Amino acid sequence: MVIYDSHQKEKIDFKPLKDKKVKIYVCGPTVYDDAHLGHARSSISFDLLRRVLETLGYDVTFVKNFTDIDDKIINKINATGKSLEEITTHYINSYLNDMEALNVKRADIEPKATESLEAMFEIIQKLLDKGYAYKLPNGDIYFDVSKDEEYCNLSNKCPEDEGVHRVEVEGKKNPQDFALWKACKGENDVCFDSPFGRGRPGWHIECSAMIKKHIAYSDTKYQIDIHGGGADLFFPHHENEEAQTYCAYNQHLAKYWMHNGFVTINGEKMSKSLGNSFFVKDALKHYPGEVLRFYLMSTHYRAPLNFSEEDLIASKKRLDKLYRLKKRIYGITKKQQDKEFEEKLLEAMRDDLNISKALAVVDEFVRVANENLDKNPKDKSLKQKIISNIEFIDKLLGVGGSDAYKYFQAGIDEDTKKKINEMIEKRNEAKKEKNYELADKIRDELQQLGIKIQDTPNGTVWEKV
């Protein structure tokens, strides 16, 4: 496996810290709102990584956190009058539902920040003891970047002079210093007890703590193998995580850093502050999760993906072809492994998740399979290989696993299905009597209902347009 490391800025051979074990931590969402397509893409990107590693035989431990305490959540509490728990539980469930629809595997561990406070206290205490952190008179605790010689080596993105904006707080030693602990700010704040007084954690400390608590090695140069997240998290979030962990434990945080590119709309980053968010749950009203997944993963994970419905439709047509092939071999249950195909697909994906190459391999497989089925419609061995290959595609890429008929008939209720079948029956009778005028009329009627039919050797089948 070769992956692109954001820190070294090049593709490098992946070698786990220990044996065949791989520990991955991905920054999950802050749960104050529904997931948008950007969350979906990030999730799918790292889901692909996980699937490839697992298929390669690695023993993967995958952790994705929920940030369930932060300013936006507090704002929501104050705006709605609901409790923290109510709000975060609601959005966590919503997120998990969306990701399930996108066929993203659940993480092995899904820690919440509010349940990892002890681990944060430990890090903060160590940083205070070692002189890497200082407490202000108001109770806030800051990380002192000037004490960390390695600060900024990870992302290399620290501004030398004044940045455009920065959180200004009275008493901070350096503008770049960031909060480890924020003292309670009054009635409308959400606060927890701590050895440093009541307050709440800074954002960056949460991830360092959850990593330490759940998966970190303590006897290696790095705590985990891979740390992932959106490209916007590289600086300052990941830089700060690394600084805290390194200064507290004298271990680097992760051996490999991976960052996914953004989903953009009209070329601009999709984000809540820009007001151009596109929620997953809304997209799911119009397109099946699998179609959405296929579209979002069809651009390499590091490149930006400019969302367009036109491209999504084009992408769906590509997936349709896989399912039409699957329909052609419907009913076959025996499998015959096709090692050559699996190796080809895997080879593409193990090159830093080269999805374009992988999908080209899938396209070629579909084309050749159709060609061979045209020539030898009864070739059992061929059909068994096709079944096996589609299963492998599902395992590795997370698409193609649905029932082929249901895929094309999604969103059509039973009554309508019955009606469609009756019309097709009538048309077939008309065809038998060579009453093509009537047959064509029925076909037109179906077309008007949004139903496209195909006469095949196995009878007439239909699809929702």
Partner RNA sequence: GGCGCCAUAGCCAAGUGGCUAAGGCAGGGGCCUGCAAAGCCCUGAUCCCCGGUUCGAAUCCGGGUGGCGCCUCCA
User: Which residues in 237-296 contact RNA (CB under 7 A)?
Assistant: 237, 260-264, 267-273
Footprint on residues 25-84 left by RNA (CB under 7 A): 27-30, 36, 38-39, 41-42, 67, 70-72
- Among 159, 195, 377, 411, which residue interacts with RNA (rule: CB under 7 A)? 159
Q: Which stretch binds RNA (CB under 7 A): 74-82, 189-197, 298-306, 400-408?
A: 298-306
Q: What is the DSSP letter of 254?
A: E
- Tell me which stretch binds RNA (CB under 7 A): 126-134, 163-171, 333-341, 391-399: 163-171
Site for RNA in 82-141 (CB under 7 A): none
Of the candidates 27, 8, 18, 7, the one whose C-alpha atom is nearest the C-alpha of residue 60 is: 18
The binder of RNA chosen from 91, 134, 222, 234 (CB under 7 A) = 234
Is 103 or 299 the residue whose CB approaches RNA more closely? 299
Are 63 and 108 in contact, with CB atoms under 8 Å apart? Answer: yes
295 by DSSP, 3-state: which?
helix
How many other CB atoms are found less than 10 A from the CB of residue 26?
25
Q: Which contiguous run of DSSP H or E holds residue 253?
A: strand 252-260
Helix (H) / strand (E) element for 181: namely: strand 178-183
Nearer to RNA, 16 or 27 (CB): 27
Q: Judged by CB under 7 A, how many residues of this single chain contact RNA? A: 89
Structure-token pair, residue 8: 């070294």
Among 167, 218, 331, 378, binds RNA (CB under 7 A): 167
CA dist 46 and 26 (Å) reads 8
76's tokens? 């929501």
Minimum CB separation of residue 374 from RNA in Å reads 5
Binding residues for RNA restricted to 353-412, rule: CB under 7 A: 354, 356-357, 359-360, 363-364, 366-367, 370-371, 374
3-state DSSP assignment of residue 277: coil
Nearest to 346 by CA among 357, 336, 337: 357
- Judged by CB under 7 A, the chain residues 313 through 332 that form the site for RNA are 313-315, 317-318, 320-321, 324
Residue span binding RNA (CB under 7 A) among the ranges 52-60, 76-84, 133-141, 223-231: 223-231
299 binds RNA (CB under 7 A): yes
Least distance from RNA to the Cβ atom of residue 184, Å: 18
Contact between 344 and RNA per CB under 7 A: no
Extract the tokens encoding 110: 């899904």
Query: What sign does the dihedral 167-170-174-180 (CA atoms) show?
Result: negative
By the rule CB under 7 A, 164 interacts with RNA? yes
Could you say which of 110, 122, 394, 455 contacts RNA (CB under 7 A)?
Answer: 455
What distance in Å separates the CA atoms of residue 105 and residue 398, rounded to the nearest whole number? 9
Residue 271, helix vs strand vs coil: coil
CB of 241 to RNA, least distance (A): 11
Binder of RNA out of 80, 156, 174, 250 (CB under 7 A): 156
Residue 408 neighbours by CB under 8 Å, 6+ apart = 320, 323, 327, 462, 463, 464
